[in-house]
Chains A and B, each alone.
Chain A
Amino acid sequence: MQYAILCYHDENVTSAWTKEQDDAVMEKLKKVQEPLARAGKLGPVARLMPTTAATTLRKTQEPPLIIDGPFAETKEQLLGFYLIDVQNLEEALQIAQDLGKVNPGGVYEIRPVGYFNRGAFPEAVGA
């Protein structure tokens, strides 16, 4: 069984970390991640940029509404996520819109990834 571990924290706090504090946290995290990666138990790891860098696509109307800022409605739950590698926000939004056409309702939050590690999953896992 694969599990997703979702990281939550107060952005006010994390964005107030100095570079040294931030680096120290990342270093410590890597020390936990490395043995997991060697054991083949660690998939992709991503750290998202601050919510100020986010854009939201609300699919409940046609055409979908594109708004600046993060998704903030608590009545909807996180059901899954995609990782895409594109040129710019325009392209990311296009993909989100295409996905939205066949998956009605709800929202997609498009948030740039600040750190990405491919991880150690063998190709077959999850297939």
Chain B
Amino acid sequence: MTDLDWINTALTQSRPQAVAALLRYFRDLDTAEEAFQEACLRALKNWPENGPPRDPAAWLIMVGRNSALDGKRRTSRQVELPEEDKISETGDAEAEIADRIDDSHYRDDILRLLFVCAHPDLPIAQQIALALRIVSGMSVKEIARAFLASEAAIEQRITRAKRKIEEAGVPFETPGPVERSERLATVAAMLYLLFNEGYSASGGEAHIRGALCDEAIRIGRLLLRLFQTEPEIMGLTALMLLQHARTPARLDAQGQIVLLDDQDRTRWDRKMIGEGLALVDKAMRHRKPGPYQIQAAIAATHAQAKKPSDTDWGQIEALYGALERMQPSPVITLNRAVAASKVRGAEAALGIIEPLAGPLGNYFHFHGLKGGLLMQLGRHDEARESFDRAIALANTAQEAAHIRMHIDRLIRESAKAS
């Protein structure tokens, strides 16, 4: 790696810690962000000459804080900036600050920063845009590209989010244990939303935006380092790893969706799967199951099957059953029905989804699954009806194309039968 590569990596990795600490100090997102930018500029000048500091985050926090304070002083009365070499002679102070800012400090700072972004008053799109900007340091341009939105729209989203947070007045005291676990749950939820935005885009042309998934996993690992004994954070990180591992096989050469059963499993990322499985295993030892752990266990069951017919569908149905009891939702029932259809047949699965016609009447996957089950039972006309409904509700071109493929098969089978 060249100097610049190393420095860029260090700056990216230090960002959550440094911005979080600066936010605690200045209590203002804009000031914290500007202070961090300034510290980065000075790092780019200073580090190639003086070598990397012992603790890059601590260096950035101290330099950022000083430069922002200088900036304030300068605007009040004209005082000269401290000379660069004065700042570089910060070895001792740096060591001191690195010792003082221990892990628990970092932990609360980062959690507070993430929580500020996951503020309950903000719409989800704003939460995610803000987190990408502030926590991950993505530029407005990069975020706009990821969301296929205009830069102006993203800029506006972030500005609004910041203003709302300022108006709401976020408390900055160190969170207590109860508050911390509540915050952690909020942050985990936001992180999973961020991941899902990348995993299955809610609109637009691109069906998968891998960079968002990578970023969510990176923050997940960071959270897990700070909260090493939280089984749900293990579960969430595992879930994201196990799902993202399939990305290389999820679309074919033409960019069409390839369903789990038809995916080339040799293209799944074995390294991510290994890490995901290890984390599920570790989480389970705690005997404190939660929704992320169960979903991760489901993904793990798929990952462990060398070929689709090896899948332990009985286990998956049981896991969906557990998830349903934990947080009842028609979408989870729908997923349990998929597993049930593999274990006990299409008829049984149809029985499970029948009561879902109301709540899931406008849900693409409900009609897609219903069509598939009816097709298996040879009820072709009804299947066609469901598939037509599914196409009308498709979110992306790929989803629609996938259903069209089913309809083509249906037509072929009907032709054969007649």
Contact = CB atoms under 8 A, between A and B. Distances in A.
A52 B218 CA distance: 12
B275 A114 contact: yes
B278 A89 contact: yes
Residue of B12, B221, B234, B269 with most partner-chain A CB within 10 A: B221
Nearest to A89: B281
Interface stretch (B162-170, B190-198, B223-231): B223-231
A68 B229 contact: yes
Given A12-B9, A55-B282, A88-B281, A49 B229 contact: no
Interface in B3-25: 6, 9-10, 12-13
A16 B228 contact: no
A42 B314 CA distance: 44
Residue of A16, A51, A52, A88 with most partner-chain B CB within 10 A: A52
A19 interface: yes
B100 interface: no
A60 interface: no
A91 B281 CA distance: 11
Contacts of B269: 19
Interface residues of B, number: 23
A50 B228 CA distance: 12
Contacts of A115: 271
B52 to A, nearest CB: 10
Given A13-B13, A55-B282, A50 B275 contact: yes
Closest 9 CB pairs of A and B: A69-B228, A112-B278, A12-B13, A53-B278, A68-B228, A52-B224, A68-B229, A89-B281, A88-B281
20 contacts: A12-B9, A12-B13, A13-B6, A13-B13, A15-B218, A16-B218, A19-B269, A22-B271, A49-B278, A50-B275, A52-B228, A53-B278, A67-B229, A69-B229, A89-B282, A90-B281, A112-B275, A114-B271, A114-B275, A115-B271
Given A55-B282, A112-B274, 17 more contacts: A12-B9, A12-B13, A13-B6, A13-B9, A13-B10, A16-B12, A16-B218, A49-B278, A52-B234, A52-B237, A53-B279, A53-B282, A68-B228, A69-B229, A112-B275, A112-B278, A114-B271
